[in-house]
Chains A and B, each alone.
Chain A
Amino acid sequence: MPDAAIAHDANPTGFAHQFEDLEQQRDAGRLGMWVFLATEILFFGGLFAAYTVYRSLHPVAFDIGSHLLNWKFGATNTAVLICSSLSMALAIRSAQTGKKKGTIIFWLVLTMILGALFLFLKFRFEWYQDFLDHTIPGFGFANQAGWGANAPQVQMFMCFYFFMTGLHALHMIVGIGVLAVLTGMAARGKFTSQYFAPLEISGLYWHFVDIIWIFLFPLLYLAGGRYPH
């Protein structure tokens, strides 16, 4: 590349002018995503810390709250997300090994479908049921008999449940949007065994969102153990 007088618009191979070569660009993109994920960890970390403080202060209430959740859906969704991580990894792999663009698109679309399935299960069967049961704070939340003095903290547990899974769902929606863009790029034949950085760094993001769920599931659904009350 000549050093000076490079136009600001990107050229067709996805190479941006500020870099010396494609490898530097890929390194920068990858590091950028890791730094972003560090930010995300601290973002969720604030919620995890607050949750931990309150759970240790109010173990009984959080136990009751946890039993308001349906662990079967949580477990199913965990499996769905782990499968989506696998298909994401296979999408990257098929680009790296120079597979046909149809293969890349197949894995990307499968990842999107699994992500959408997760959201469908979450919203249709969990949140909607919570709404019917009046367990959504701020939306007709109603105390139930048997909570007694724990009622305020049960509501607080549900607050954390909706904040954390809501934020996670938002990340899933963004992720599905990113996957849609990647699918478009794949359809235009952008990805080769030389150029697959967007797939790679989006994959990092997708796996990260999965890992957040891996922590959310036991903390929220399995708090206090699943013995009958």
Chain B
Amino acid sequence: MSTTATIDQAPGASSEPQVNYLNARYGIKSWLLTLDHKRIGLLYLGTITVMFLVGGIAATMMRLNLIEPQGALVEPETYNKLFSTHGIVMVFFFLVPSIPATLGNFLIPLMIGARDVAFPKLNLLSWYVFVTGCCLMLYVVATGGVDTGWTFYTPYSSLSSHTDVFLAAMAVFIGGFSSILTGMNFVVTIHKMRAPGLTWFRLPLFIWAMYATSLIFVLATPVIAVTMFLLMLERLLHVGIFDPALGGDPLLFQHMFWFYSHPAVYIMILPSMGVISELITAFSRKRIFGYSFIAFSSLAIAVISFLVWGHHMFVAGESVYAGLVFSVLSFLVAIPSAVKVFNWTATLYKGSISYEAPMLYALGFIGLFTIGGLTGLFLAALATDVHLNGTYFVVAHFHYIMVGGAVMALMGGLHFWWPKITGRLYPDLWARFAALVIFIGFNLTFFPQFVLGYLGMPRRYAMYPAEFQALNVLSSAGASVLAVGYIIPLIYLGWSLRHGQIAGPNPWGAKGLEWTTQSPPLTENFLKTPIVTEDAYDYETAPEPEVVRA
């Protein structure tokens, strides 16, 4: 089924002002002291957008520098600070909270028919903790940055680096507690706050994904916190924990770091998978294929994620036997990931597919995630990893997962639920155009990096041999396309806040409790606590989309 590019006035949508969570109260105080999960979600959205810009500027400067083999823009020391800033800001202050703290916060109570999360005050506290961490990190960036890379490897970070590692580690330490609070809140909310009739196997798959993510938040984040704590103490007091000169073991730092940071990869990708499950069904207008397989594959990924951290250390000095075990376990992650991809594809089969902007992001996600996932297998294999470790192949691989996966899904989800969040529709043509620009720009940026890595170009260097220039220029050109692709939505989504067409309660004709309430929802979400009598994604009974499709 093809669609028209324009959207007619949605039937049933009224332009009369109605009381909702946005206009119920006004003023700065009503936002900064809000306990409403929807407003807190928006506070998070604003914060991570700022952090995304900071991390994005650092990336832009890196790509500009790499246009010339000798470095076109900055000194090598500055380059070290740029990639460290980019990594720390993007991982800890953008990707980790991205979908859970924004869409998760906004949607979980709506999707399970609750008035709010279980602990609204903790929810607000988590935002303040997060902002504190962000401010500290921005202070570090503004006063010279750090040059350790986002991994803070010892003994460089504890002994050699002359930058403010202490404060940067403190920022990560503090930011971690916001993850823990969010995770606790979500676990309890999903367990205890579901509407009558909403059994576990009637939950939207987004909820399953958020549940799996929350488990990782709760169980992995404390380990990075304590690792950063030890690093800070070692630097502050000059005592030996990881310092080999004092009998410490730098490898232990790597073990403890990756014990969090590998599961953190799944913190970034599991929520995206949840979003994609929602988008694929909504725009195929078909019940999802293999509901329970997708649900349990989320939990399987969460469990396995705790057992694979050693694959970051194949060449760092861990034993061959440990390497073998970690390699096998890493391959296991491919199974639940593939289960998801196959089920999404099977859902598309014989669906009435339409290509609205969210769906474009979802389809893009499936392709890019598949590439990112399969190249991960190269790195999980011991022999090929020796060749590829520490090269641009690794950089390309994880950007396919984190940008091609997590950011695409965030954009898709944001577009899908934008009418619910704001009560307005955005210009569909622009949105589709931006999705296409992002897809093209992304591939142009990162696909050449696979080749560069295969040819042996190491990551984290400000300079490179001249024969790598063509591919690097291609990558930098792609980065500028990608930047344009991110700026366009910023403009039209901002525009739509005031000028967008009024969206009805359910512009996509989608299933799910969040679409049964008004847009934007009431502060209490529902007039009456909903009673659920059907499975998720029962698209045989779905209302027709209000967005007219030819």
Q: Which residues of A contact B (CB under 8 A)?
A: 3-6, 8, 16-20, 24, 27-28, 31-32, 35-36, 38-40, 42-47, 49-50, 53-54, 57-58, 61, 137-138, 141, 152-153, 155-156, 159, 163
Contact = CB atoms under 8 A, between A and B. Distances in A.
A212 to B, nearest CB: 13
B528 A3 contact: yes
Contacts of B237: 137-138
B27 interface: no
Contacts of A156: 239-241, 246-248
17 contacts: A3-B528, A5-B524, A17-B115, A18-B193, A28-B118, A28-B119, A31-B191, A42-B220, A44-B226, A45-B223, A46-B227, A50-B230, A50-B241, A53-B249, A137-B237, A138-B239, A156-B239
B499 interface: no
A32 B119 contact: yes
7 closest pairs, A vs B, by CB?
A138-B237, A43-B222, A46-B226, A18-B116, A152-B247, A42-B222, A137-B239
A38 B218 contact: yes
Nearest to B237: A138
A138 B236 CA distance: 9
Interface string B213-227: 000001111110111
Interface in B433-477: none
B162 interface: no
B180 interface: yes
Nearest to B242: A50
A32 B188 contact: yes
A151 B219 CA distance: 35
B229 to A, nearest CB: 8
Interface residues of B, number: 51
A156 B247 CA distance: 8
Contacts of B236: 138
Contact of B524 (A4, A28, A137, A155): A4
Given A35-B187, A42-B222, A141-B239, 18 more contacts: A4-B522, A17-B115, A18-B115, A18-B116, A27-B192, A28-B119, A28-B191, A32-B188, A43-B226, A46-B226, A58-B247, A138-B236, A138-B238, A152-B240, A152-B246, A155-B246, A156-B239, A156-B247
B247 A35 contact: no
Contacts of B120: 16, 18
Contacts of A163: 229-230, 233
A46 B117 contact: no
A35 B252 contact: no
Given A4-B522, A18-B120, A46 B223 contact: yes
B374 interface: no
B57 interface: no
A36 B182 CA distance: 11
A17 B522 CA distance: 14
A155 B529 contact: no
B222 A40 contact: yes
B313 to A, nearest CB: 14
Contacts of B115: 6, 17-18
